[in-house]
Structure 1
Amino acid sequence: MAFDLFSISEDHEAIREAARTLADERIAPYAAEVDEREEFPKAAYDALVASDFHAPHVPESYGGAGADALATCIIIEEVARVCASSSLIPAVNKLGSLPLLLAANDEVKRKYLPPLASGEAGFSYALSERDAGSDTASMRCRATADGDGWVLNGQKSWISNAGFSEYYTVLAVTDPDGPRGKNVSAFVVEKSDEGFSFGAKEKKLGIKGSPTRELLFDNTRIPGDRMVGKPGEGLKIALRTLDHTRVTIAAQAVGIAQGALDHALAYVKERKQFGKHIADFQGIQFMLADMAMAVESARQLVYVAAAKSERHDEDLSFFGAAAKCQASDTAMRVTTDAVQLLGGYGYTRDFPLERMMRDAKITQIYEGTNQIQRVVMARHLLR
């Protein structure tokens, strides 16, 4: 395991500047309303599509921008700085489509990646179920062979951007009697497929602009050419996908933390108590220093993990888990401290910090809880 450095190029800095400007001008003004109304951030989606930031990871050969893993993380970080819900647009699009990039044949890629790259369609990922969260191998969703196709029955839970996305990478058991973990296959399901429907929107603590719903399959017929990879390889593909996409959630967490720190800094430099700005009190300065130190440490680890993702390094599973765990814990701590620095104001919706604190919590949970991340890291260390 090597802590290989990353390289920030002029192109990366240009992408950061463009993403930050777009976020400040075209996403931030609607963030509070998106949260309040629990509506998908359509204005943010349109702005991201116009800038090729909605699915920047798609290779140029499929009509995409061809951004590397670090550039994608920078985009997600800058958008999350102002609106976590909107940052899930590029994050979920990568999560949903990465299994195709890792394992699908070229015919499947050429069918589904160009519409994603153009903004015509979103792409979601369906692994978890009601009783199969961290224990993914215990899933019950079934895909039964039928002629030259498959018939899906069952459900998937906690699916981000469900109902909005046109395409879904769905994991289902294809060999009920096969060995655990090697009896699951991956398929692309289209929103228009007969027998495929959605549950009601979940009522959530945060990321309220990203719809989270169940996927319901009732004799949903899938053509055989929609399989991603080979039969029985689904769980392997799913876990490889998470090694890469945990890095994007880590970037989202860094963005949320940075946004909270920015607001806290602006506030303490203006707020006066006892005849002077509260930024002049050493206790406040120590809090700010600790917050900034934690954010920058997390950012550096995320960027290292992104470089490893781009290279497909063997130790990516450790660094992806470490980045996600460290960054999300940091986001939770920094947003909580930022609320504290604003006192009563921080607890109100007049400022965005209470929203950021609510949004931060999910980064410790989805794409593998931080307890699972520690299991992943420990296994890597002990093998």
Structure 2
Amino acid sequence: MNERMVPEVGVLADTPAVVQLNAWLRNWARRLDFRLVDERRCLPPHWVLALGNKGLLGMQVAERDGGLLGLSNFELLRVQRQLGAIDLTLAFFVGLNNGLGIRPIQRFGSPAIKERYLPQLASGRILAAFALTEHGAGSNPLGLSATALREKEGFRVNGSKSWSGSAAWAGVISVFTRHLDEQGRDCGFVGLCLDAEQPGMRQGSEALTLGLKGMVQNQLHFDAALVDPDRVLGSPFAGMAVASDTMAYGRLGIAATCVGGLWRCLQLMMRYSTRRSLGSHRLWDHQYTQRVVDDALCAATAIGGWVDDLALRLDQGLPEAPPQVLAAVKWMASEMLGEVSDAALQMLGARGYCDNNPIGQLWRDARITRLFEGPSETLATFIGQRVQEQPVATLDYLEQTAPGKIAAQRLRQWLADAGPMERLSAGTLRLGECVAWLMLYAQPLDEPSRRWVDFRLEQALHTWERVRSPVRAMPGLAEWINANAGLCDEPQPGEDSTIDPLLMSREGL
């Protein structure tokens, strides 16, 4: 095992800019109390100021646009990895501002919008948010119900948004709605860049989340808000394309952050297992412990190399990876972080279950990665659909490497053997998971990592084979479950936080 600790391939050196930024982050993080932030459900203002002063809240904003760093994609994602190893709440706060927040403005905003907001965003003087999700349209953004009705003066926006990260703190918000023409006919989707002081827009309630408690995620409500036409991001009819571009890049950022989280889990497991005495030997001396750590190391190095490769493709001007590839790397990284953080908590035993130790918070924070920017099931289904309906793009991506050529041949055989499957079937979902493992197999890997990927791919194939068998009929299932569980979720006595009507403003009545 000692010889395995330094991977043989796939390790790229950080640039001087990344080395300097990560060194500053490591030193700065020693002064931060992440547990207190979790308990108070709020980031301290001095964190935002410090990050802004270093340019970390607008890492890719060029100097000509008011930025301090102007990092490449590779550099930004390496910094995100370091942030993920420090604290996931901190990492996703920074990542949201750089990705979902700034990217649509930087890529699709008008010159006037860029001039107004980018310098302030890059310096952290204001924050940015992204509002797409609704209560009835989460993993299916095509189901949006919020509307922007075109009028002579601009767009009249009505509706609500949910779970918008940093929205209550933001100075500018990218909002995506259905686009209705002056006759009320559906014209697709439109993206709008709104100032926090936009008349007719109001902040809604905050979600009390399981993890990432230090970040605010809240609702937004639009009551006939009149938005100037110069606030459009890109084309008035290309709102979903703008949102899709932003979310696809966001998935790559989430994957990089998850890789950092994997390294943090490895660090905690190594510290504990090499110090924990079990009589005459250490926990580390057990072969099972070493296997758990080695599997986690395979995940961190293999997925980290995949993220690096995708970032370098962008920096080198190569054709962008198909969207199913970005969905796959996010699926893989988030699933592995969930698995490894759970293994780390288990290894620490009772210490892992105590909230004064960091693994419990990391485990809770990691859970969201399998939900936002596409739940794992939705992403796997999307990958499976794309592979069946447009296989050439995936095959072309795989065949760029020697192991990828082997993977492509296997995929062709799978598709021939399986035949057509329904788009939303369990078979399509499990096929998507298998393809994600094939994509990882196509990366340059050292031998231990390749053996690990081979093993996990065989497990995924076995699961795919099983779900293709019929599911038993389950009449009366809900009644049977209720009979065994009981109905125990009626409203219980609790705090009343509503303001008395006699004390409300007229608008609040």
Query: 2:333 and 2:27 mapped to 1: Cα distance?
Result: 22
Deviation of 1:102 after TM superposition, in Å, equals 2.7
1:55 corresponds in structure 2 to 58
- Unaligned 5+ segments in structure 2 are 1-8, 391-509
1:313 corresponds in structure 2 to 319
Query: 1:295 and 1:230 mapped to 2: Cα distance?
Result: 39
Count of aligned pairs: 376
Q: How does 1:2-17 map to 2 (within 5 A)?
A: 8=12, 10-11=14-15, 14-16=17-19
Query: Which residue type is aligned with residue 81 of structure 1?
Result: A
Query: 2:222 and 2:237 mapped to 1: Cα distance?
Result: 20
- Contact (CA 8 Å) 2:110, 2:230: kept in 1 or not? no
2:168 corresponds in structure 1 to 163
2:423 corresponds in structure 1 to none
With normalisation by structure 1, the TM-score equals 0.92
The answer on 1:76 being equivalent to 2:80 is: yes
Deviation of 1:262 after TM superposition, in Å, equals 0.8
1:378 corresponds in structure 2 to 384
1:197 corresponds in structure 2 to 202
Query: 1:28 and 1:320 mapped to 2: Cα distance?
Result: 35
1:117 corresponds in structure 2 to 122
Query: Which residue type is aligned with residue 367 of structure 1?
Result: E
Deviation of 1:330 after TM superposition, in Å, equals 0.9
Residues 273-303 of structure 1 show CA distances to partners (whole Å, capped at 9, x for unaligned) of 1222211121111111111111111211222
2:25 corresponds in structure 1 to 22
Equivalent of 1:334 in 337, 340, 349: 340
- Contact (CA 8 Å) 1:155, 1:215: kept in 2 or not? yes
Equivalent of 2:292 in 252, 267, 287: 287
Deviation of 1:312 after TM superposition, in Å, equals 6.5
2:106 corresponds in structure 1 to 101
Q: Secondary structure at the match of 1:341?
A: helix
Q: Secondary structure at the match of 2:211?
A: coil
Equivalent of 1:277 in 277, 282, 289: 282
Deviation of 1:24 after TM superposition, in Å, equals 4.8
1:356 corresponds in structure 2 to 362
Deviation of 1:325 after TM superposition, in Å, equals 0.7
1:231 corresponds in structure 2 to 236
Deviation of 1:41 after TM superposition, in Å, equals 4.2
Bigger Cα displacement from structure 2, 357-366 vs 47-56: 47-56
2:417 corresponds in structure 1 to none
Q: How does 1:134-173 map to 2 (within 5 A)?
A: 134-173=139-178
Which fold has the larger relative contact order, with Cα–Cα distance below 8 Å and residues 6 or more apart in sequence? 1
Deviation of 1:308 after TM superposition, in Å, equals 3.4
2:307 corresponds in structure 1 to 302
- Contact (CA 8 Å) 1:348, 1:354: kept in 2 or not? yes
RMSD: 2.1
1:37 corresponds in structure 2 to 40
Deviation of 1:7 after TM superposition, in Å, equals 9.1
Q: Secondary structure at the match of 1:52?
A: coil
Say if 1:355 and 1:16 are closer, same or farther in 2 by CA, change over 3 A.
farther
Structure 1 residue ranges (4+ consecutive) displaced by more than 6 angstroms after TM superposition: none
Say if 1:381 and 1:102 are closer, same or farther in 2 by CA, change over 3 A.
farther
Query: 2:30 and 2:174 mapped to 1: Cα distance?
Result: 28
Query: 1:103 and 1:67 mapped to 2: Cα distance?
Result: 19
Query: Which residue type is aligned with residue 108 of structure 2?
Result: A
Q: Secondary structure at the match of 1:47?
A: helix
Query: 1:40 and 1:339 mapped to 2: Cα distance?
Result: 25
Residues 87-132 of structure 1 show CA distances to partners (whole Å, capped at 9, x for unaligned) of 1232111212212233233222222212111211111111110101
The answer on 1:186 being equivalent to 2:177 is: no
Bigger Cα displacement from structure 2, 106-115 vs 206-215: 106-115
The answer on 1:87 being equivalent to 2:91 is: yes
The answer on 1:207 being equivalent to 2:212 is: yes
Query: 2:259 and 2:19 mapped to 1: Cα distance?
Result: 14
Deviation of 1:166 after TM superposition, in Å, equals 0.8
Q: Secondary structure at the match of 2:158?
A: strand
- Contact (CA 8 Å) 2:150, 2:156: kept in 1 or not? yes
- Contact (CA 8 Å) 2:129, 2:173: kept in 1 or not? yes
Query: Which residue type is aligned with residue 354 of structure 1?
Result: G
Query: 1:274 and 1:17 mapped to 2: Cα distance?
Result: 43
2:418 corresponds in structure 1 to none
Query: Which residue type is aligned with residue 384 of structure 2?
Result: A
Q: Secondary structure at the match of 2:169?
A: coil
Bigger Cα displacement from structure 2, 23-32 vs 243-252: 23-32
Say if 1:160 and 1:23 are closer, same or farther in 2 by CA, change over 3 A.
farther
- Contact (CA 8 Å) 2:58, 2:102: kept in 1 or not? no
Query: Which residue type is aligned with residue 101 of structure 1?
Result: Q
Query: 2:324 and 2:208 mapped to 1: Cα distance?
Result: 33
With normalisation by structure 2, the TM-score equals 0.70
Q: Secondary structure at the match of 2:33?
A: helix
Bigger Cα displacement from structure 2, 59-68 vs 22-31: 22-31
- Unaligned 5+ segments in structure 1 are none
Deviation of 1:22 after TM superposition, in Å, equals 1.5
- Contact (CA 8 Å) 2:355, 2:361: kept in 1 or not? yes
Query: 1:327 and 1:361 mapped to 2: Cα distance?
Result: 12
Deviation of 1:6 after TM superposition, in Å, equals 9.0
2:349 corresponds in structure 1 to 343
Say if 1:316 and 1:47 are closer, same or farther in 2 by CA, change over 3 A.
farther
Say if 1:196 and 1:133 are closer, same or farther in 2 by CA, change over 3 A.
same
Deviation of 1:43 after TM superposition, in Å, equals 3.6
Say if 1:206 and 1:217 are closer, same or farther in 2 by CA, change over 3 A.
same
Query: 2:133 and 2:31 mapped to 1: Cα distance?
Result: 31
Query: Which residue type is aligned with residue 60 of structure 1?
Result: E
Deviation of 1:261 after TM superposition, in Å, equals 1.5
- Contact (CA 8 Å) 1:329, 1:364: kept in 2 or not? yes
2:469 corresponds in structure 1 to none
Query: 1:194 and 1:148 mapped to 2: Cα distance?
Result: 14
